Structure 1
Amino acid sequence: MGKKRKVTVDGEEFEVDLERDGDVWNVEVGGRSFSIRVSGESLSGPSRRSAGGGRRKKRSGIISSTIPGKVVSLHVSVGDEVKEGDVLMILEAMKMQNEIRAPLLGTVTEVNCESGDSVEANTPLVVIEPPE
């Protein structure tokens, strides 16, 4: 598929294949395929290039699921300060639990779901406003 990465979910390590197609990441885990979108943002985590300074494009803080799922646990509320990579929630889709992480540093301005909610694809779940 694409790049092989190791990820840890609930203390268990998995090897995943990642391939980017625009703003959608296609992920294969254990022979099962998933599509994940974080509006206007990649899921690659902090860039090694960002450590040297330079200007970064302002990123979107609207976090959505590309497939229907269930919010297993919610880790943030409106007003919370989050760092890039912080776990915002656990979303279960296709019998897999996925950590949904903050794509950027900022303040949570909207939370449009609660633990136990079923969510539709492309529904904004959390909005993060970056610092000025």
Structure 2
Amino acid sequence: MKKYRVNVNGSLYEIEIEEMAAPAKMSAAAPAAAPAAAPAAAPAPAGAGAQVKAPMPGTILDVKVQAGQSVKKGDVLVILEAMKMENEICAPSDGKITGVNVRKGDSVETQALLCTIA
């Protein structure tokens, strides 16, 4: 057994992992290693106004707004998938979208800037 200390979102956990013997023979159907992900393109600079940030890490499934678009409080801005659930990220106030910093398929961390509203 190997012991590790892991920090997950600021909480410290101690875990034990059992080492297992390697299989004697790998089958041809064994899954191949995933290819390395291409580096993400740098997002456009944030616009002026209130920042709308990701409440949790996940993947952007859809971006419902674009820069210059007017929105009302509660309008869906982005759909964020986290833990196999779709989460609608809504406008916190009426205004105009001054910047969109994510694209469909982007992976984001907690507090990543999604868009700005002025």
TM interval, short-chain normalised? 0.5 to 0.7
Unmatched runs of 5 consecutive residues or more in structure 2: 1-48
TM-score by length of 2: 0.57
User: Larger strand proportion, structure 1 or 2?
Assistant: 1
Which residue, out of 78, 86, 98, partners 1:89? Answer: 78
CA deviation digits over 1:57-114, x for unaligned, max 9? xxx7211113211000010000000000101011001111001110100010110000
Alignment correspondent of 1:125: 114
Which residue identity does 2:82 align to in structure 1? A
Over aligned residue pairs, what C-alpha RMSD do you find?
Answer: 1.1
Alignment correspondent of 1:64: 53
Question: Residues of 2 paired with 1:120 and 1:114: CA distance?
Answer: 14
TM-score by length of 1: 0.51
Alignment correspondent of 1:104: 93
Does 1 or 2 have the higher relative contact order (CA < 8 Å, sep 6+)? 2
% identical aligned pairs = 47
Confirm or deny that 1:73 pairs with 2:62: yes
Question: Residues of 1 paired with 2:87 and 2:93: CA distance?
Answer: 18
Which residue, out of 95, 101, 113, partners 2:102? Answer: 113
